[in-house]
Amino acid sequence: MKKPSTKQFNTLKKVLTYIRRYWFLLVLSLIFAAVTALLTLYVPILIGQAVDLILGPGKVDFAGIFVILKKIAVIVVITAAAQWLMNLCNNTITYNTVRDIRRTAFDKLQILPLKYIDGHSYGDVVSRVIADVDQFADGLLMGFTQLFTGVITILGTFGFMLSINVSITFVVVLLTPISLFVASFIAKSTFSMFKLQSETRGEQTALIDEMIGNQKVVQAFGQEDEVLERFDEINGRLEKCSLRAIFFSSITNPSTRFVNNIVYAAVGIAGALSALSGNISVGQLSSFLSYANQFTKPFNEISGVVTELQNALACAGRVFELIEETPQVPEAKNAVDLDNISGEVALNDVAFSYVPEQPLIENLNLTAKPGQRVAIVGPTGCGKTTIINLLMRFYDVNSGSIQVDGTDIRQMTRGSLRTGYGMVLQDTWLKTGTIRDNITMGKPDATEEEIIAAAKAAHAHSFIRRLPQGYDTFITEDGASLSQGQKQLLCIARVMLCLPPMLILDEATSSIDTRTEIKIQQAFGRMMEGRTSFIVAHRLSTIREADIILVMKDGHIIEQGNHKELLAKGGFYANLYNSQFSA
């Protein structure tokens, strides 16, 4: 396992590759930071000169002091403008960098294999892309704002102090490293704590996301207390790791300030002795004390920046873990776009398993001719939905091949393969938008007449008309205002509009009442004419008209034939069918 310092360094290099795109703004920010710091440091020189013009009662050079005050006023205006421009550059760099990283992470989500999404909680993924990137932005912005000015202030102050008195300057320089040592020691302890805090926050987000999405189930089964206990446990762990991280980060500033006060006192004593001996004037001593304070102040700020950067880099590391995940198998260089798909599908010696040591599908062979209806039945867990995942190439086969119109689907572009299928699943999926947006997802340029015709074919038109704005009614991604059956009808209408050459119906009418189901089955019957259809069903009454019924068990096809042939065999299918229609 990499050490934290190595991880931080690698993460920092990755961040710099994004920042490098905005090098011009970075240079401008450095210039404005230099102007801000140097002009700020020039003010104590002028104040010292003004002090020296106050010689005693009745011996004040008001004209000279007025000239100095005018200079200070001009410097303050220029410094304010330079600081505003520096902050503008820093904000632009930070939020453009964050936008690029978040876009890269979201783009990566589009090409990650389905097994990654299946293997990670949605809340954790959301936390990486949203919360972690926001935390990273805060740390990065503080780094740009304070790190540049801090470093330039240290160098500038050192130069001004040397110009006043060399010996007192070395007193400051010799004592300041103590502050750096304290800050470095604390910073090493904070990275792992901030990383743990970020991971625990992601776990908490995952639980909240899960509970909000399934609140009805939680309440229906009286799981409120158990969920609260889980939340309290995660919240407790988050509290502990957050308190430890914040404790160590918060003692950085007081610790370095304590050291800095020691430095300030030492400078005061050395400067007073030097003034008494006549080596420096009182005005120079006041300037030097101001510089001593300003010399140590950036170390406080930089120590705070380092702490924030620990948190920022820990969050950025989680985002880059997502970005660097192995994407889905890239398309072949000579991948073809299949047009005018006839719908012949062949599975040859297909073997597949989600986990290598647990075989699921072995030696699966199937040929579906264009226009055939292929029904897949069998007990739960036998591999029915897995075949759908393989046909759509959400997963790739471990061995064997799947061909469409004689072409291995691994030699086709995923886009053309999936465009050739129309899917209606048991689990409905709607996006935030209008009813019209959800129906036209596969055919955005559809006319109003086509949309209405598809909705009528899916028997959704009547309930859509009753909605407040009809087809322009706005719904959220979970379609909370619609019943489960209505959501499924919209998904069916979506496919009715596209009419692709191949269909996949996975318990497509499971949430629809019996009368509507009969009508939908009739509509499906018309739609499936001339189209290769794969139908996954538990209710065997819906597949009596299928050309081929595949009976699966433990990843194998144990029986194959049409409804009458399988009943006549009196085998596994006959037992399944009779168990549903024993009366």
What is the residue-wise DSSP string for 107-161? HHHHHS-HHHHHHS-HHHHHHIIIIIHHHHHHHHHHIIIIIHHHHHHHHHHHHHH
Question: What integer best gives the mean pLDDT of the chain?
Answer: 80
The beta strands (E) that lie in 394-444 are given as 399-404, 407-408, 421-424, 433-434
**346 bridge partner residues:** 367, 403
The pLDDT value given to residue 1: 41
Mark whether 248 and 369 lie in a shared domain: no
Whether 43 maps to a domain, the answer reads: yes
Whether 332 maps to a domain, the answer reads: no
- Mean pLDDT for 276-300 is 72
Whether 336 maps to a domain, the answer reads: no
Please report which confidence band the pLDDT of residue 33 belongs to, taking 50, 70 and 90 as the band edges. confident
Mark whether 315 and 349 lie in a shared domain: no
Mark whether 442 and 546 lie in a shared domain: yes
Q: What are phi and psi of 2, to 5 degrees?
A: -70, 145
pLDDT over threshold 70, residue 300: no
Question: Among residues of the chain, what percentage have pLDDT more than 70?
Answer: 90
Please indicate, yes or no, whether the overall pTM of this predicted structure exceeds 0.85: no
CATH number of the domain residue 369 falls in: 3.40.50.300
Q: Residue 410 belongs to what domain range?
A: 345-580
Mark whether 290 and 379 lie in a shared domain: no
Please identify, among 257, 291, 323, the residue that sits at the C-terminal boundary of a domain: 323
Within 10 Å of residue 483's Cβ, how many Cβ atoms? Answer: 12
pLDDT in tens, 39-89: 888 887 787 777 777 765 667 777 888 888 898 899 999 999 998 998 898
Please identify, among 323, 354, 379, the residue that sits at the C-terminal boundary of a domain: 323
Whether 340 maps to a domain, the answer reads: no
Mark whether 25 and 123 lie in a shared domain: yes
Mark whether 437 and 382 lie in a shared domain: yes
Residue holding tokens 């959220």? 476
pLDDT in tens, 378-429: 887 777 888 888 888 888 888 889 988 888 888 888 888 888 888 887 777 7
pLDDT over threshold 50, residue 449: yes
- How far is residue 470's CA from residue 206's CA, in Å, rounded to a whole number? 35
Mark whether 180 and 108 lie in a shared domain: yes
Mark whether 289 and 233 lie in a shared domain: yes
Mark whether 228 and 126 lie in a shared domain: yes
- How far is residue 97's CA from residue 236's CA, in Å, rounded to a whole number? 33
CA 279 → CA 166, 171, 192, 293, distances in Å? Answer: 11, 16, 50, 21
Whether 335 maps to a domain, the answer reads: no
Mark whether 373 and 520 lie in a shared domain: yes
Can you give 75-117 as a three-state secondary structure string?
HHHHHHHHHHHHHHHHHHHHHHHHHHHHHHHHHHHHHCCHHHH
The pLDDT value given to residue 284: 73
Number of domains in the chain: 2
pLDDT in tens, 475-503: 876 666 777 778 878 888 888 888 888 88
> What is the identity of the amino acid at 197?
Q
Please identify, among 266, 292, 323, the residue that sits at the C-terminal boundary of a domain: 323
Please report which confidence band the pLDDT of residue 303 belongs to, taking 50, 70 and 90 as the band edges. low
